[in-house]
């Protein structure tokens, strides 16, 4: 229930399609209430066609900003005035701040992932990381990891739709950050085995293993795991994917994508309000 809507209440929310399943309204409205902020967060089911008009209205309506989900994360770019470094490299935005009519785009998915890795006790700065996939989640994580100071980034993709995107991402990371990025075919088990020996953190950012396809895994060869490796999954439904269960059985530390979701919201909240989200309370209630 929303309390105390006033003549000064500022609007924000989530644009995309579908959006009704999102946990973000609970996360942000509870946090606004807890901190006594006169803000409200709603969901708007908006596909790419109407996006320009909607963004223009949100700019003029003195909103504090908004989030974007599929299919609007890339489609929103032409309507924004400025982009964070991560959003420039990735070419996508999940959080917009309205700075007095000037719309600034950010990407907090990668920030959320890196924070969740730290919380899981995995210290990857100055070390090597491997990311499976080259879609939206993989790009956001790869670019943030490179900006944060991961020394080498091994991107792994199947040779299909994503391959060219992955090649571009590697080029962009090498040109714009101090991180050294390379690309390997997911089918090249020999190279994966060699790279994994010196890798600290392995991340599945493909949708393989997500319900209802719980039996699938991007790395069926479990001899690739070693106990010094932390293995994570961006998937959180199921809480433990086949990849994570097999990695855990091989002695690896593991964590899932639940807190990536929480911390991307925490980062967006900070961008909009300048204040810290009451994260522990949100965690207790919804995670
Ligand atoms: P996406 O843009 O469609 O990318 C999916 C990636 O997985 C692509 O590189 C795709 O390759 C690859 N892939 C799919 N099926 C594959 C297979 N059978 N073998 C090898 N690679 C395969 O999707 P996304 O938005 O990045 O989402 C990926 C996952 O992340 C989803 O499960 C999503 O729910 C999750 N996610 C979690 C969070 C969080 O907060 N925890 C946030 C965002 C996303 P192709 O292009 O070749 O198909």
Question: Phi and psi (nearest 5°) for 243?
Answer: -55, -50
- What pLDDT does 3 receive? 63
> Which atom belonging to ligand 1 lies closest to the Cα atom of 162?
46
What is the set of active-site residues? 73
In the block, which residue shows the tokens 């309205």? 98
Question: Two tokens at 79?
Answer: 């309507």
Q: From 105, 39, 29, select the one nearest 67 (Cα to Cα).
A: 105
What is the pTM assigned to this prediction? Answer: 0.97
Choosing from 71, 135, 286 the residue with most ligand 1 atoms within 8 A of its CB, the one to mutate for a pocket test is 135
- CA dist 250 to 25, 201, 222, 245, Å? 38, 15, 8, 9
Residue 166 lies in a domain: yes
> Does residue 252 share a domain with residue 121?
yes
Distance 87 CA to ligand 1 centre (A): 18
For residue 132, how many other CB atoms are within 10 A of its CB? 24
Distance 232 CA to ligand 1 centre (A): 14
Question: Two tokens at 100?
Answer: 């007095």
Q: What is the C-alpha separation between 182 and 162, in angstroms, rounded?
A: 15
- What pLDDT does 230 receive? 98
Atom 42 in ligand 1: residue holding the nearest Cα? 137
- What pLDDT does 47 receive? 87
Atom 27 in ligand 1: residue holding the nearest Cα? 137
> Does residue 182 share a domain with residue 72?
no
> Does residue 234 share a domain with residue 142?
yes
Question: Which residues span the domain enclosing 89?
Answer: 10-107+260-286
Asked if residue 268 has its Cβ within 6 Å of ligand 1, the reply is: no
Asked if residue 158 has its Cβ within 6 Å of ligand 1, the reply is: yes
Atom 4 in ligand 1: residue holding the nearest Cα? 135
> Does residue 114 share a domain with residue 177?
yes
Asked if residue 135 has its Cβ within 6 Å of ligand 1, the reply is: yes
Question: Phi and psi (nearest 5°) for 194?
Answer: -65, -50
Q: From 125, 182, 115, 173, select the one nearest 148 (Cα to Cα).
A: 125
Check if the beta carbon of residue 239 is closer than 8 Å to that of residue 152.
Answer: no
> Does residue 133 share a domain with residue 42?
no
H or E element, residue 204: strand 201-204
Asked if residue 133 has its Cβ within 6 Å of ligand 1, the reply is: yes
Atom 11 in ligand 1: residue holding the nearest Cα? 162
Q: What is the DSSP letter of 116?
A: H
| pLDDT tens-digit profile, the chain (287 residues) | 456 789 999 999 999 999 999 999 999 999 999 999 999 999 999 988 999 999 999 999 999 999 999 999 999 999 999 999 999 999 999 999 999 999 999 999 999 999 999 999 999 999 999 999 999 999 999 999 999 999 999 999 999 988 999 999 999 999 999 999 999 999 999 999 999 999 999 999 999 999 999 999 999 999 999 999 999 999 999 999 999 999 999 999 999 999 999 999 999 999 999 999 999 999 999 99
Instruction: Order across the sheet with 128-132: list the strands.
Output: 180-185, 152-157, 128-132, 201-204, 230-233, 253-255
* Number of domains within the chain: 2
Asked if residue 207 has its Cβ within 6 Å of ligand 1, the reply is: yes
Q: What is the C-alpha separation between 261 and 151, in angstroms, rounded?
A: 25
> Does residue 179 share a domain with residue 207?
yes
């Amino acid at each position: 229930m929303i309390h105390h809507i006033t003549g000064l209440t500022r609007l924000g929310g989530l644009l995309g399609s579908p959006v009704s399943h999102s946990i973000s309204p609970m996360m942000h409205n509870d946090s606004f209430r807890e901190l006594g902020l006169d803000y409200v967060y709603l969901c708007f089911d908006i596909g790419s066609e109407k996006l320009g008009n909607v963004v223009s209205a949100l700019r003029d309506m003195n909103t504090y900003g908004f989030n974007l989900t599929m299919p609007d994360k890339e489609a929103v770019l032409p309507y924004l005035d400025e982009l964070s470094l991560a959003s420039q490299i990735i070419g996508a935005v999940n959080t917009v701040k309205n700075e007095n009519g000037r719309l600034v785009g950010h990407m907090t998915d990668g920030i959320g992932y890196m924070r969740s890795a730290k919380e899981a006790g995995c210290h990857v700065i100055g070390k090597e990381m491997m990311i499976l996939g080259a879609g939206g989640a993989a790009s956001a994580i790869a670019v943030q990891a490179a900006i944060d100071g991961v020394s080498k980034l091994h991107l792994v993709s199947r040779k299909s739709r994503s391959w060219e995107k992955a090649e571009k991402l590697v080029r962009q990371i090498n040109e714009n950050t101090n991180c050294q990025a390379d690309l390997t075919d997911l089918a090249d088990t020999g190279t994966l085995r060699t790279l994994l020996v010196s890798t600290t953190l392995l991340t599945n950012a493909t949708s393989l293993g997500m319900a209802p396809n719980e039996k699938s895994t991007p790395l069926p060869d479990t001899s690739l795991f070693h106990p010094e490796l932390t293995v994570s999954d961006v998937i959180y439904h199921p809480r433990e994917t086949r990849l994570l269960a097999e990695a855990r059985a091989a002695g690896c530390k593991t964590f899932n994508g639940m807190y990536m979701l929480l911390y991307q919201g925490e980062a967006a909240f900070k961008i909009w309000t300048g204040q810290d989200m009451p994260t522990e309370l949100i965690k207790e209630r919804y995670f």
